[in-house]
Chains A and B, each alone.
Chain A
Amino acid sequence: MEIFWNTIADYNAATWPAQLLLTGIGAVLTLLLYKRPSDAVCTAMKIYMAALNFWIAGIYYLVYGGPREYHRMLALFWAIMGCIWIYDLVVKHASLSRKGHHTLFAGILFVMPLVYPLVSLALGRTFPMMTSPVMPCSVAVFTIGLMLAFAERVNIVLAMFLCHWALIGLSKVYFFGIPEDYLLACSVVPALYLFFREYIRSLAGSASKPSPRVLNALLVVLCAIIGGFFVFTLLHQFNLFTETI
């Protein structure tokens, strides 16, 4: 736990100007995707996302996360996500070619990287030992928002990676007591529901098995189970069970 926060403090102290720059570029590209979407902006955003993922892999985990156990594994995890963005760019997957959808929810997810530090401050942490906008969970939330708002066809491998990362984040809430990561877990369930609901809607006219109605019902059940699991973890985190007993 102490090692975890020390590595974050080292990372923030050394990279805050670069983090500000990356956050600024992300904000500008997101606004451009909303206001003036074009192939060039899509390409720039994909390159930015790949760079952001490689940054997390290289700088966050390999350079500053060295003292943590299994940091190379996590670096590889983010490097693979970076490679998926490069692949996405090369094969011209339609992952950012839609004009902004789910504006409200996606908007909330876009500001979430800025909410992370605020939550940290609210929890009594101080700079540099606090969460910042360019950290794994903040980047994961931002990526989910991006896919939700602009993906014509969701890159399902990337979505599953993020789902897996959210589960890890949730486990960190449970095992290491880092409630900030609950923000990611909370945003993944509705995002997954929306991803798959759109996919099911796209099947409406065609013959599919099971039928779109059954698929939708299964999706609701699955999201309800995952949501229930998250709520249980939240209650556990805040020790509400012991209070009621």
Chain B
Amino acid sequence: MKTRHELTEILDFIAEYATYLLGSGVHTSRAIRNSQRIGESLGVDIQLSSFQRSTILTVRDEESGEALTRVVKIPALPISFERNSDLSALSWDALDERLPLAEIRRRYALLIEKPRIDPIFVLVTVGLANASFCRLFGGDWTAVAIVFTSTLVGFAARQRMQAHGVNHFLIFIIAAFMASLCASVALRFDCTAETALATSVLFLVPGVPLINGVIDIVEGHILIGCSRLINALLLIICIAVGLAATLLMVKDSLL
């Protein structure tokens, strides 16, 4: 039987763990499964309901029946599949090795302190990925080169604005505008300018919220699924606004 203090400690840790997962781009049912697995390893039952910005967590001692509930804010964290995978593995380790809470906490702290991928490395690889999109969509090599450097400009601007805490939607509009404006120089050259313009903003497409939204709806978490999809839709509209501003300035029309 757990004391109230022990239950509170477990609840605090799982709240931190689950919100970290949800903030890092994990879909809801995976966060619930992982949290419940850790709860099972510690002899408690975990129930979790998640919304777009917060999570409600209940921990119940299976022996005494005592339950504690907390509402926790979900932090906005950079998406990291590697970290998500590590944290999922931690939940399996906790269950398989019957780890005590102190040990789970220690391993969790080590995992989240691991260095993130360097932002300059991310900048260059995103540039290469977007340039590859341009090639995949039929762009010639001049267009590919222009999309590469345009993406560098747009993504660098996005990184700087995120570091300065600028509004998320504004970031998407400005980054889309800057990337597409840079890509629009392709119109001056004899190359596949339309492809360059269209693909220059693809690095902004919110793939993770879109995928997670669909998975959440399919798995029955309709509310958060819809929230994620609406959020993704708003970001796509922001991209469209940025791209439209460039098109209206450069081509005097949207088509």
Interface residues of A (CB under 8 A from B): 69-70, 72-74, 76-77, 80, 91, 156-157, 159-161, 163-164, 167-168, 171, 175, 196, 199, 203, 206-210, 215, 218, 222, 229
Q: Say yes or no: A218-B153 contact (C-beta < 8 A), given A73-B181, A77-B182, A164-B182.
A: no
Find chain B residues with CB under 8 A from A70 CB: 184-185, 187-188, 250
A73 touches B117 (CB 8 A): no
A240 to B254, CA, bound (A): 43
Q: Say yes or no: A171-B189 contact (C-beta < 8 A), given A72-B249, A215-B121, A218-B124.
A: yes
Find chain B residues with CB under 8 A from A69 CB: 187-188
Find chain A residues with CB under 8 A from B96 CB: none
Find chain B residues with CB under 8 A from A207 CB: 115
B118 touches A203 (CB 8 A): yes
> In chain B between 157 and 182, which residues have their CB closer than 8 angstroms to a CB of chain A?
157, 159-160, 164, 178, 181-182
B145 touches A209 (CB 8 A): no
A-B contact pairs, 19 of them (CB 8 A): A73-B185, A73-B249, A156-B120, A156-B156, A159-B156, A160-B149, A160-B153, A164-B146, A164-B152, A164-B153, A199-B120, A203-B118, A209-B114, A209-B115, A209-B118, A210-B117, A215-B118, A215-B121, A218-B124
Of listed A73, A160, A163, residue having the most chain B CB within 10 A: A160
Q: Say yes or no: A171-B157 contact (C-beta < 8 A), given A164-B182, A203-B118.
A: no
Q: How far is the CB of B122 from chain A (nearest CB, A)?
A: 10
Q: Say yes or no: A157-B150 contact (C-beta < 8 A), given A80-B178, A171-B142.
A: no
A167 to B120, CA, bound (A): 19
Q: Can you list, as one digit per residue, whether each of B126-165 has a CB less than 8 Å from chain A (1) or not (0)? A: 0000000000000000100110011011001101100010
A163 touches B185 (CB 8 A): no
A175 to B140, CA, bound (A): 14
Interface residues of B (CB under 8 A from A): 114-118, 120-121, 123-124, 142, 145-146, 149-150, 152-153, 156-157, 159-160, 164, 178, 181-182, 184-185, 187-190, 249-250
Of listed A76, A80, A157, A161, residue having the most chain B CB within 10 A: A157
A227 to B135, CA, bound (A): 21
Residue of B nearest to A210 (CB): B121
B118 touches A208 (CB 8 A): yes
Question: A interface, by DSSP: helix, strand, loop or mixed?
Answer: helix
Find chain B residues with CB under 8 A from A208 CB: 115, 118
Find chain B residues with CB under 8 A from A160 CB: 149, 152-153, 156
Q: How far is the CB of A102 from chain B (nearest CB, A)?
A: 19
Of B152, B159, B184, which contacts A163 at CB under 8 A? B152
Q: A76-B249, A159-B156, A167-B145 are in contact. List 4 more A-B contacts (CB 8 A).
A: A156-B160, A164-B185, A171-B142, A171-B146
Q: Say yes or no: A218-B121 contact (C-beta < 8 A), given A70-B184, A164-B182.
A: yes
Residue of B nearest to A203 (CB): B118
A163 touches B142 (CB 8 A): no
Q: Say yes or no: A168-B118 contact (C-beta < 8 A), given A70-B250, A157-B156, A163-B152.
A: no
A222 to B123, CA, bound (A): 13
Residue of A nearest to B118 (CB): A208
Q: How far is the CB of A132 from chain B (nearest CB, A)?
A: 21
A157 to B159, CA, bound (A): 9
A157 to B146, CA, bound (A): 16
Q: Say yes or no: A209-B185 contact (C-beta < 8 A), given A80-B178, A157-B157, A218-B124.
A: no
B250 touches A73 (CB 8 A): yes
Find chain A residues with CB under 8 A from B182 CB: 77, 161, 164
A151 to B129, CA, bound (A): 29
A73 to B193, CA, bound (A): 14
Find chain B residues with CB under 8 A from A209 CB: 114-118, 121
Q: How far is the CB of B82 from chain A (nearest CB, A)?
A: 9
A163 to B145, CA, bound (A): 11
A209 to B178, CA, bound (A): 28
Find chain B residues with CB under 8 A from A76 CB: 181, 249
A14 to B124, CA, bound (A): 42
A175 touches B156 (CB 8 A): no
A167 to B185, CA, bound (A): 10
Q: Say yes or no: A164-B149 contact (C-beta < 8 A), given A77-B182, A171-B142.
A: yes
A167 to B149, CA, bound (A): 8
Q: How far is the CB of B141 from chain A (nearest CB, A)?
A: 9
Of A77, A156, A218, A229, which contacts B181 at CB under 8 A? A77
A206 to B121, CA, bound (A): 15
Residue of A nearest to B185 (CB): A168
A73 to B249, CA, bound (A): 7
Q: How far is the CB of B228 from chain A (nearest CB, A)?
A: 28
